[in-house]
Amino acid sequence: MRNKPEIKLEYSHHRDQEVVLIKFDYDKGLIDEVKKLAGSRWSQTKRCWYIPADNFHLDTFLNTISGIADIDAANIKDRGVSNITTGRIKESFLSELPKGYLEILEQKRYAKSTIKTYTTYFKQFQDYFSEQSLEKIDFEQINGYLLELITKKSISPGQQNQRINAIKFYYEKVLGREKEY
């Protein structure tokens, strides 16, 4: 089994602007995904991809890349919603997660990258169903949500699986419901 490539994100200055550098070893598939990100450019002088910091949103980056690469965002402070820094998620983001979600992830000793992915994807799920009680959402609604992500956002099969696992974690581990397949 092939290990996922690793990406390191960091702030820098390039062409008189603040940018987020996207550093990783050559990987054709990863390059193709990075090219899809709005504002991404190759820097010959820095020898890596970058996005202007004003256009960079960690949630968008994670949605596109986290299923195909491990991401080190320890040096990034996103200007968007989630603000993942130094392996921890900013308190304002965490306070919006259901009670016990993060705590159980940590108690079960999930990897930091998995915690980042699950909390980001579950927060997006939670936002999508913001007008409803999460406890009352049914199987068909969850499948409809996933189908919409597949058809409208073209999420990868890997990302689809991670999103399913983040949702299942809530219903099975946090709420203690029966396993769903």
Question: Which segments in the chain show pLDDT lower than 70?
Answer: 1-2, 77-95, 181
CATH number of 96-181: 1.10.150.130
Q: Give the residues across from 20 on adjacent strands.
A: 11, 51
Whole-number percent of the chain with pLDDT over 90? 39
Q: How far is CA 30 from the centre of its chain?
A: 15
Q: pTM of the predicted model, to two decimals? A: 0.52
Which residues of the chain are in CATH 3.30.780 domains? 1-90
* 7 Cβ contact list (under 8 Å, min separation 6): 22, 23, 24, 30, 65, 69, 70, 71, 72
Per-residue pLDDT tens over the stretch 111-162: 888 888 898 889 889 888 988 899 999 999 999 999 999 998 888 888 899 9
pLDDT recorded at residue 113: 82
pLDDT recorded at residue 81: 35
Which residues of the chain are in CATH 1.10.150.130 domains? 96-181
Q: Per CATH, which fold does 1-90 belong to?
A: Translation Initiation Factor Eif1 (3.30.780)
Query: What is the bridge-based pairing of β-strands 70-72 and 84-85?
Result: unpaired
